[in-house]
Amino acid sequence: MIFLRNIMKTSCLMLLTTGCLQAQLLNHQEKLTRQDSLRGSYGAGRSWWNVLRYDIRLQVDIANKAISGYNDITYAILKDSKDPLQIDLQEPMQIERVEDLDTHKSISFQREGNVFWLNTTGFAINKKPKTLRIYFRGNPIVAKTPPWDGGWIFTKDAQGRNWVSTATQGIGASSWLPCKDHQADEPDNGMTITIIVPDSLTAVSNGRLTAKTKNRNGTTGWKWTVTQPINTYLITPYIGHYVNFSDTLQGEKGKLDIGYWVLDYNLEKAKEHFTIVKPMIHCFEHWMGPYPFYEDSYKLVDAPHLGMEHQSGVAYGNQYLNGYLGKDRSGTGWGDDWDFIIVHESGHEWFANNITTKDIADMWVHEAFTTYSETLFVQCRHGLKAANEYVIGQRRIIRNDQPIIGIYGVNKEGSSDMYDKGASMIHTIRQIINDDNKFRNLLRGLNRDFYHQTVTGRQIEAYIIRQTGKPLQKVFDQYLRTTMVPVLTYTVSGNKVRYKWTNCVPGFNMPVQLANGQWLAPKERYQEAPLGILKNNALDVSPNFYIKVEKAS
C-alpha cells in the first residue's frame, strides 16, 4: 500500500501513573455503526461458507462511468446454518438478480445498506461446491485522490485518451464487485476476470492473459486468470492504450515470467527504467524466500495513480523517477538511485499478498515488513551501513499519533506509523536477534509457514517469539499498542552508572546494545554498571534501536 494514506482520525487518552507509564491501548473515540460491523466482522452471514473461486465478467462503459456484469462465486459450506448468505456491494451499485447455477433457480435477497442478504439457508454440509451468479450494475464510487481514497479512476493519459483503473484498499472491492469482502477469506482456487472494452483499448488484470475474444459490437473481452488465492482488494482492471514486453528470471523456484504493460508512449522509457526489477526480485528472494506467485507471473502495469500492490499485477505510477516522486523519503540519500514505488509495492507480494491479515486492524504485518523490505534492498545494493542509515532516516516521518494496531471487527486500520515505526520495530528486533542468518531465516520462515494464508497479528507475533527464542511480547506491546517511545533513563552517581526503562509498558525489559558492542539489560528499576560504559560522559546506545536516551537531572 502507498505511504501517506489518509487514515481515520481518532482522539486518544494516555493514563499516567508513578514509575513506568501505564501504556494503555489508546481509546479510539469514534462513532461506529452496524454497517462498520457488517463490513469488518466475520459474522453469521460469512462464517458458514468459504469462497473457492470467483469468475468475473465485467463490461465497462467509460463514457458514462458505469459498469455491469456478473460474478460467479463458487463456495463450500462449512457448517449448517440458518443464517442468510452475506454479499457485500456498496451503494450506489446494485445487484440485479442472483441465480443458483446448480439448480438454475433465482435466489431472493434483501438489501441492508452495503450488504445484501441472500436467502440461501437450509443447505447441509456436503463436499460438492455450489455456485451463485450475481448480476450487478451501476456507477461505482469514483476516487477523488487515488490511491489514498478508494474507488474507480476514469481519467485521461498524456495524449488525452481514456485511461481507467481502480484502487480499493481500505474501501474494498465491494465498492464495485459483489463479493465476500473480508480479508479473512480469499478464493482458494483463484479467479478469472474477463474485461470487455472497446477494440481500441487494452484491458490488463492480475495473473496471466488466457483469452482475447473480439465481439461483433466493436468490443474485445480480455480474460485474465489467477490460479492462486487472491484477496479481493487486490483485484483490479487496468484499461488504456497499453503495449507490453516481457522477460524471464531464473529464481529460487525456476523460471519466473515477468511482464511489463505500459502506455504506448512509455515503452522505451520503461525498458530502461524497469531494469531494477530483476535484481530487486533476486534480493527479495534471498531475504524473504521465493517469489510467492510463480504460477501467475510478475507484472508491472502503468497506473493512473501512484501505485498499489495488486497481486501479480503491481500498479506503477511513480512517473519513471527514482525515489518517491523524485525524493528520498529517508532523507539519507540512500533512496535516490532506485524507484521507491517499484520496490515497495513489489515487496508487498511477500507481505500482504502472500501473508495477508484477516483484519485490517493488523495491517502492520503488511506495511512494517514491506517498508523494511526497502532497507533490505538498500543492503543488497549498498551494504549494511547504508541500510542502517536508511531505516534510521525514516524515523523522521514517525508521528506517534495513535497506536499502530487499529480497531478490530469494523474495518478500521491504525496509525500510518505502521510503515516507518513498524520498520524501525523490525530493525530493533533484528538487533536483539543479533544474528543476520537467523533474521533472514525468520523472514523466509514466515513466508514459507504462512504461505498463501490469512493470519492474525497475534499469530505473527507468536511465531517470531517462538522462532527467535526471545521474550519479545513486551516489545510488540510497546511499539504496536502504544504511542510511547521507550526511554532509557540514566544517572551518574559516584563511580556508577544507574539506568532503567521509563515511558514503557509494565514489564518492559528489552535489551539494548551500546555503540561499542556491549549489551545492557535495563528493567523498570535502576540497574548499575561501572562508569566505563560511558563515552564522553554519556550513554552511547547503538542508533539501530528505536528508543530515546535521556540523562536524568
The contacts found for 538-541 with CB under 8 angstroms, 24 or more apart, are 539/488, 539/490, 539/497, 539/499, 539/514, 540/514, 540/515, 540/516, 541/488, 541/512, 541/513, 541/514, 541/515
Q: What pLDDT was estimated at residue 139?
A: 98
Segment 224-229 mean pLDDT = 98
Question: pLDDT tier at 9 (50, 70, 90 boundaries)?
Answer: very low
Q: What pLDDT was estimated at residue 123?
A: 59
> In the beta sheet, which residues pair with residue 66?
61
455 and 408 in a common domain: yes
Report d(CA 500, CA 21) in Å as an integer.
Answer: 13
Q: What pLDDT was estimated at residue 120?
A: 86
Q: What pLDDT was estimated at residue 121?
A: 62
Q: Is residue 98 part of a domain?
A: yes
Q: What pLDDT was estimated at residue 122?
A: 54
Query: Residue 72 has which C-alpha cell?
Result: 460467479
Q: Residue 234: which CATH number?
A: 2.60.40.1730
72 and 54 in a common domain: yes
165 and 260 in a common domain: yes
Report d(CA 230, CA 237) in Å as an integer.
Answer: 14
Question: pLDDT tier at 1 (50, 70, 90 boundaries)?
Answer: low
473 and 504 in a common domain: no
Q: Is residue 186 part of a domain?
A: yes
> Where is the domain boundary, 237, 268, 299?
268
442 and 544 in a common domain: no
Query: Residue 311 has which C-alpha cell?
Result: 497481486
379 and 491 in a common domain: no
Report d(CA 112, CA 422) in Å as an integer.
Answer: 37
> Where is the domain boundary, 211, 235, 268?
268
541 and 403 in a common domain: no
Q: What pLDDT was estimated at residue 26?
A: 37
Q: How many domains does the chain have?
A: 3
Segment 170-198 mean pLDDT = 98
498 and 470 in a common domain: no
| Domain region containing 543 | 487-551
Q: Give 476 or 19, the one with higher predicted confidence.
A: 476
Given a cut of 80, is residue 194 above it in pLDDT?
yes
**What confidence tens digit (pLDDT) does each residue in 364-375 have?**
999 999 999 999
Q: Is residue 283 part of a domain?
A: no
472 and 365 in a common domain: yes
503 and 386 in a common domain: no
**What confidence tens digit (pLDDT) does each residue in 306-332 have?**
999 999 999 999 999 999 999 999 999
Segment 89-98 mean pLDDT = 98
Helix axes 420-433, 473-481, angle to 10 degrees: 170
Cα 476 to its chain centre, rounded Å, is 19
Q: Is residue 53 part of a domain?
A: yes
Q: b/e string for 294-315 if b means 16 or more Cβ within 10 A? A: bebbbbbbbbbbbbbbbbbbbb
**CA distances (Å), origin 457, targets 296, 364, 400, 435, 450:** 27, 8, 20, 24, 12
What count of other Cβ atoms lies within 10 Å of the Cβ of residue 89?
26
Q: Is residue 23 part of a domain?
A: no
Cβ-proximal residues to 185 (8 Å cutoff; 6+ apart), any chain: 42, 46, 50, 51, 454
Report d(CA 425, CA 461) in Å as an integer.
Answer: 12
DSSP secondary structure string, 207-263? SEEEEEEE-TTSEEEEEEEE-S---GGG---EEESEEEEEEEEEETTEEEEEEEEEE
**What confidence tens digit (pLDDT) does each residue in 295-310 have?**
999 999 999 999 999 9
Query: Residue 235 has which C-alpha cell?
Result: 483485484
Mean pLDDT for the chain overall: 93
Report d(CA 364, CA 477) in Å as an integer.
Answer: 13
> In the beta sheet, which residues pair with residue 280?
none
For residue 375, give the nearest of 329, 436, 423, 447 by alpha carbon. Answer: 423
CB 239 within 8 A of CB 224: no
Question: pLDDT tier at 125 (50, 70, 90 boundaries)?
Answer: low
> Where is the domain boundary, 446, 466, 481?
481
Backbone region of residue 539 per phi and psi (left: phi > 0; alpha: psi in -120 to 50; beta: other values): beta
Task: Match 549494511 to its residue by C-alpha cell.
Answer: 384
Q: Is residue 308 part of a domain?
A: no
What count of other Cβ atoms lies within 10 Å of the Cβ of residue 217?
8
**What confidence tens digit (pLDDT) does each residue in 346-361 have?**
999 999 999 999 999 9
162 and 51 in a common domain: yes
Q: Give 402 or 493, the one with higher predicted confidence.
A: 402
142 and 97 in a common domain: yes
Element (H, E) at 422: helix 420-433
Report d(CA 151, CA 171) in Å as an integer.
Answer: 7
**What confidence tens digit (pLDDT) does each residue in 269-301 have?**
999 999 999 999 999 999 999 999 999 999 999
Q: Is residue 253 part of a domain?
A: yes
Q: Residue 376: which CATH number?
A: 1.10.390.10
Report d(CA 229, CA 191) in Å as an integer.
Answer: 8
List phi, psi (to 5°) of 410: -135, 15
**What confidence tens digit (pLDDT) does each residue in 390-445 have?**
999 999 999 999 999 999 999 999 999 999 999 999 999 999 999 999 999 999 99
Which amino acid would we find at residue 257? Answer: D
Query: Residue 494 has which C-alpha cell?
Result: 559516584
Q: Is the dihedral of CA 122, 128, 133, 139 positive or negative?
A: positive
Q: What pLDDT was estimated at residue 16?
A: 27
Q: Is residue 297 part of a domain?
A: no
For residue 363, give the nearest of 480, 274, 464 by alpha carbon. Answer: 480
